[in-house]
Amino acid sequence: MDQIVHIFRKDVRRHWRDILLSLGILALFAWNEPSKWMPRPFRESLFRVMFSGWLAPMVAISWLFLILRVVHAESLVGDRQFWVTRPYEWKKLLTAKALFLVTFINVPLFGAQVFLLWKAGFVSSRFMTGLLWVQLMWILILIVPMTTLATVTSSFGQTVLVVLGIVLSLMGLAALSSEIPNPGISILRWIPEWLPPSILLGVFTVVLVWQYARRKTLQSRLLLIGGAAAILVIMEETPPRAFTAQHFSSLQPNNNCQCN
């Protein structure tokens, strides 16, 4: 436990500027969000409109930057890291990083959500289950994938290039799939919709733990590429779920209707 606290305190001292930046952007978002619930004045300044529109993306970007900074502080890529000469246990190192992210991402987000509920006139205690569910979704959708990506990259620039490559690949696949008809493979027709994201989350979790435990970057990258390729094949070859008439009850004419 002492080692976990030591690593946590070291990260706080080293990244206090990044923490303040992330908390400041989140505070601005929470302060500005209630103003969007009211009718906007006709002649609202262009700066205020752009400011309101960019705050939500900036919150996510600040979180991504904070994740990269704290994970890259003890880089897992290569074999010449200074920290491997210290008596760090990988389990405690991983726990300290997780504690840092929960403390400075999930806890402030939870406080911002409670504040927004209060501003909207709701009692936050009645929505505690929903608030905790939102926290879990942020962990699964953002924190775990970005932390995994940080473990297989060595710098901020390399991570940005990887993210751009993923975005461009998805855009290309979307354009290609719109031009090529998708007949769907019969074997894949019965795959439930929850299975692809579950597989992807499982791959992220395995790579995250594997990197901290063994630092086998090449194998981890290949596993990520293989998992992403498998998910893309499933999504491309699985026909879209179509609504059929049996999902809806038929409308019966109202004999009592009097038409003029």
The full DSSP string for 56-103 is HHHHHHHHHHHHHHHHHTT--SSS--GGGGS---HHHHHHHHHHHHII
DSSP-derived secondary structure letter, 194? T
28 CA to centre of own chain:
21
Helical H runs in the chain?
2-14, 16-32, 46-72, 90-101, 107-119, 128-138, 144-151, 156-179, 195-214, 217-237
* Confidence at residue 247, expressed as pLDDT on a 0 to 100 scale: 46
Helix (H, G, I), strand (E, B) or coil at 219: helix
- Identify the CA nearest to 193 among candidates 138, 231, 151: 231
User: What is the reported pLDDT for 16?
Assistant: 93
- pLDDT score for 198: 84
Residue-level pLDDT at 179: 60
- Burial of 70 by CB count in 10 Å (0-12 exposed, 13-18 middle, 19+ buried)? buried
Mean pLDDT by 10 residues, the chain (260 residues): 89 94 93 76 57 82 92 81 73 93 94 90 81 89 91 84 76 64 54 76 91 88 84 64 47 51
Query: Which residues have C-beta within 8 Å of that of residue 183, sequence separation ≥ 6?
Result: 239
pLDDT at residue 189 in the model: 58
pLDDT at 3: 87
The model carries a pTM of 0.78
- What's the pLDDT score for residue 89? 85
Model pLDDT, residue 97: 94
Which DSSP symbol is given to 216?
-
Confidence (pLDDT) at 100: 96
